[in-house]
Each structure stands twice: as C-alpha cells, then as structure tokens.
Amino acid sequence: MAISVNQAFVTGYEKDVHEAFQRRGSKLRMMVRHAVDVVGSTHVFQKVGTGTATTKGRNGNVTPMNVAHTNVTATLVDSYAPDYADKLDLDKLTIDERKVLINAGAYALGRKVDADIITQLDATTTTETSGTTGDFSLTKVLTAQAQLGNNDVFEAGRMYAIVPWTEWNKLMLVQQFAMADWVNDKPWLESGMAKRWLGTIWMPHSGLESLVAATVAKSYWWHESAVGNAMGTEIQTDVNWIPEKVAWLMNNMMSQGSILIDANGVIEIRNTRA
C-alpha cells in the first residue's frame, strides 16, 4: 500500500449538533392567567373588587355592595425569530441545519414570553418588608408569605414563585425547603427542578439574573391571576424557499403580550448577595 494513502482518508462527522445551552421555551406562561386565540391588537383582562356583607332589619332594604369593576389592557406585540440556510451550505453539512434553526427560533420566542411576564412581575409595587437587607433566607420567605396572607392573596394551588439560581441554591440549604418532610413528594415537574412548598410551586429561573443590580437580586411570588398573558398567534414556523437568496428561510413567529393585573397579588423579595 502506498505510504501516502493517509492523504485520501475520509474524515467522519457526527450528524447530531450541539446546540448552545439555552432555556428551551417558556416556563412561566402556564403560571399566569392566560388568554388564547385573541383577536385584535389588545386584550382586556377584567378585574372585580371585593364586597362587604351587611345586615338589614325586618322589612328593610338591602344595601348593595357596589362591587367595583375595572380592567387592564395587554398590548399584543409581534415577534419573529428567522434565519436563512443557504442551499449550497446545506450540501456541505451532515447535520440537519434547518431543524437546528427552527428549534433555535422557537426557543428564542419562548424566552421572549418569559421575559415579558418577568417585566410585569417586576412592575409590582408590593415588596417584602425587610427590603434588600441580608441574604436570601427562610425569614424573608415567611415574611413575604405573611404579607400575601394579610392581603388575602394566598390561595394554595394557585401560587407560584421564581428565584435566581444563586438564591435557589440558598434555598437548598434550608432544611424546610430541601427535605421531603416539608416538601410535597410530587412536584409540579416530575424529575424537574420545581418544588411544591408552602402551597406554592417554586422554581429557579435564569431570566432573573439580568435584574441583579449592585449585588441586589430579585425573586417573585405571585397568584396566577395577578398577571395576564394574551396570545393572539401561538408560536408557529414557516419554512420557505427564497429564490433571491438561494436559501431556505426558517421563520418562527408569534403575537402576544403580558400585563400586571393586580400588584397586590405579586410580591417582590429582594436580597443582597453576600
């Protein structure tokens, strides 16, 4: 055999491709009040106030509660996550580039939904009373729970909380959070990171890291009806051949918007990282 035969060796390449680590889609949409198949550029979420019961004398008139009716409006925003795949480039690849680009676009739109919901959570004016003093702790959590309870917000089974990953690790050091004696053994996500604790689904969320400023981190605890998400067009994908580009266009798109419905139903927990 010729000594230089190695020059003719073929290099093999794996058909799978590593996608950059990323949050794959929305984690928060089903944790808020959501409207689907919305027609129009805006969607109105109705709010009804509380009433007070009264008594009346025999043959007397009843006193109307006059419950207040208000509303808030979510504006739908069109979002796109497109990318091209050149035909001649595809001929040089062993990976399914079109599938990779479709997935990347869908993931990006899902993260956009979460980012919009987090923006509305961050708009709350209700904060845990100890402010930024101290690190994330059981005391802060219980103080926030008391505030929610005193505002008649707390309703087991409809409460959610998200924390940055650093604060999640702090929670994992809290015995009452980490041990099965206190935490439900059937969390919301089987084999996932979410935990059911204090009548609430708790979950770490990387989208909160961007809110950290001067070592002050923010976490949120809310009732699902306190924030609304309106979806006009669900995430969908079009794959089209573009002759002028000699390429395929993978275009992911959606139309949606979120709004804070009731600031009393969302509490912000702030802490200073040690």
In the chain, domain spans: 128-228+261-272
pLDDT for res 10:
47
Largest separation between any pair of C-alpha atoms in the chain: 114
If 0-12 CB within 10 Å is exposed, 13-18 middle and 19+ buried, where does residue 183 land?
middle
pLDDT for res 25:
75
Q: Which one has a higher pLDDT value, 189 or 70? A: 70
Distance CA 268, CA 25 (A): 24
Burial 103-141 (b: 16+ CB within 10 A, else e): bbbbbbbbbbbbebbbebbeebebbbeeeeeeebbeebb
Q: How confident is the model at residue 217 (pLDDT cuts 50, 70, 90)?
A: very high
Closest by Cα among 193, 130, 113 to 161: 193
Decide if pLDDT at 12 tops 60: no
Decide if pLDDT at 150 tops 60: yes
Decide if pLDDT at 40 tops 60: yes
Decide if pLDDT at 71 tops 80: yes
Distance CA 269, CA 274 (A): 16
pLDDT for res 7:
54
Least confident of 50-59, 107-116, 176-185: 176-185
Question: What token pair was written down for 247?
Answer: 């390429």
Closest by Cα among 46, 64, 45, 44 to 54: 64
Decide if pLDDT at 21 tops 50: no
pLDDT for res 6:
55
Q: Is the dihedral of CA 114, 115, 117, 122 positive or negative?
A: positive
Quick one: which H or E segment has residue 89? Answer: helix 87-90
Distance CA 69, CA 75 (A): 20
Least confident of 6-20, 184-198, 217-231, 256-270: 6-20
Q: How confident is the model at residue 215 (pLDDT cuts 50, 70, 90)?
A: very high
Closest by Cα among 185, 221, 225, 180 to 202: 221
Model-level pTM?
A: 0.86
pLDDT for res 13:
47
- CATH class, domain 128-228+261-272, is alpha beta
DSSP letter, residue 262: -
pLDDT averaged over every residue in the chain: 88
Decide if pLDDT at 68 tops 80: yes
Could you tell me what percent of the chain has a pLDDT over 70? Answer: 87
